């Protein structure tokens, strides 16, 4: 944790980077790169187009490998880049530069992929009132970085975990015996600043969630006709979220149905990596 202007700022990349470097170096270091001496420079070059994310992770990789490595980026997170565009560079001891290469590019390619995929979904819903959001379907240990990448692509992070928002899902409803009972049990234990979201699978459940005064109603795996009917039923009395089976080719229609939020697991589970290289000068 570092402090800036009196505010504590958590370094979300430190622990994931440490684990990734432990996988790659395992305490032995780079068996081939260690024979190289002197200093050098390399360019960070995009092989394909995308949206930048992961610059903090790259800097953290460099810092943990060798503090003498200097990383610079010509763009900032959230900026778009084209194929063959130079994104930045690394300078410093050659042994460290070679040791950081794959780990840094793994983070960068993965997170740029999440940001770029998010940007595509955001573009497909342009002109509507709907916002694109992530889910908790994230790579274990990389949630904070992937949620940041979603934001770099123009999306919303949604909740970060079970601790920061109350979402009553199907298994909670089954365990409690009914939607109403589940909401009542959760509300009894919540603080006054917490809102309740309820996952629904039918219009009957939507009405029940309204009767329970749910602040957010999620429409889970509903078809377009059901989504439109649910929006009419809610009539502005709650935030309407759509989730489940959301693809790029149907997200525009879902947004046009008048929903407020569309949460998409594919932002983090199906985002293709952006091919990025580190080219020695």
Residue 9: pLDDT band (50, 70, 90) is: very low
Question: According to the CATH classification, is domain 123-269 in 3.40.50.720?
Answer: no
Long-range contacts of 233-240 (CB under 8 A, 24+ apart): 233/203, 233/206, 233/207, 234/206, 234/210, 237/210, 238/209, 238/210, 238/214, 239/215, 240/216
Structure confidence at residue 192 (pLDDT): 82
156 neighbors 133 (Cβ within 8 angstroms)? yes
User: Phi and psi (nearest 5°) for 72?
Assistant: -130, 145
C-alpha neighbours within 13 Å on the C-beta side of residue 267: 35
Structure confidence at residue 10 (pLDDT): 62
Q: Which CATH superfamily is 2-114+272-280 part of?
A: Quinolinate phosphoribosyl transferase, N-terminal domain (3.90.1170.20)
For residue range 93-145, what is the model confidence (pLDDT) as tens digits? 999 999 999 999 999 999 999 999 999 999 999 999 999 999 999 999 999 99
Angle, nearest 10°, between helix axes 94-124 and 143-152? 60
Long-range contacts of 142-149 (CB under 8 A, 24+ apart): 142/16, 142/110, 144/12, 145/12, 145/13, 145/16, 145/54, 145/57, 145/107, 145/111, 146/111, 146/114, 146/268, 148/12, 148/53, 148/77, 148/111, 149/53, 149/54, 149/111, 149/112, 149/114, 149/115, 149/118
Q: In sequence order, what are the beta bridge partners of 51? A: 80
Label the pairing between strands 276-280 and 261-263: unpaired
For residue range 219-238, what is the model confidence (pLDDT) as tens digits? 999 999 999 999 999 999 99
SS3 63: helix
d(CA 210, CA 60): 46
Q: Which of 171, 147, 181 minimizes the C-alpha distance to 263? A: 147
For residue range 162-183, what is the model confidence (pLDDT) as tens digits? 988 899 999 999 999 999 999 9
Report domain extents, the chain: 2-114+272-280, 123-269
Q: Is 123-269 the same fold as 2-114+272-280?
A: no
pLDDT exceeds 80 at position 15: yes
Catalytic residues: 102, 137, 169, 199, 220
209 neighbors 219 (Cβ within 8 angstroms)? no
């Amino acid at each position: 944790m570092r402090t800036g202007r009196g505010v504590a700022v958590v370094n979300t990349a430190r622990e994931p980077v440490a684990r990734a470097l432990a996988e790659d170096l395992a305490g032995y270091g780079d068996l081939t790169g260690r024979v190289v001496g002197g200093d050098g420079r390399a360019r960070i070059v995009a092989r394909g187009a995308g949206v930048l994310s992961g610059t903090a992770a790259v800097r953290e990789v460099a810092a943990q490998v060798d503090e003498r490595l200097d990383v610079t980026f010509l763009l900032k997170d959230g900026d778009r880049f084209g194929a063959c565009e130079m994104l930045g560079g690394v300078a410093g001891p050659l042994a460290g530069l070679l040791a950081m290469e794959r780990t840094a590019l793994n983070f960068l390619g993965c997170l740029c992929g999440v940001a770029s995929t998010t940007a595509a979904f955001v573009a497909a819903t342009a002109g509507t009132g709907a916002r694109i959001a992530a889910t908790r379907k994230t790579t274990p240990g990389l949630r904070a970085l992937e949620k940041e990448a979603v934001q770099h692509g123009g999306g919303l992070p949604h909740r970060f975990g079970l601790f920061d928002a109350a979402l009553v899902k199907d298994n909670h409803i089954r365990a409690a015996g009914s939607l109403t009972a589940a909401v009542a049990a959760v509300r009894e234990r919540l603080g006054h600043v917490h809102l309740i979201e309820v996952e629904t699978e039918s219009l009957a459940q939507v009405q029940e969630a309204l009767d329970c005064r749910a602040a957010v109603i999620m429409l889970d795996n509903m078809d377009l006709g059901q989504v439109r009917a649910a929006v009419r039923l809610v009539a502005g009395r709650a935030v309407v979220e759509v989730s489940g089976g959301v693809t790029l080719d149907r997200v525009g229609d879902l947004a046009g149905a008048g929903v407020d939020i569309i949460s998409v697991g594919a932002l983090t589970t199906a985002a293709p990596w952006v091919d990025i290289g580190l080219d020695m000068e």
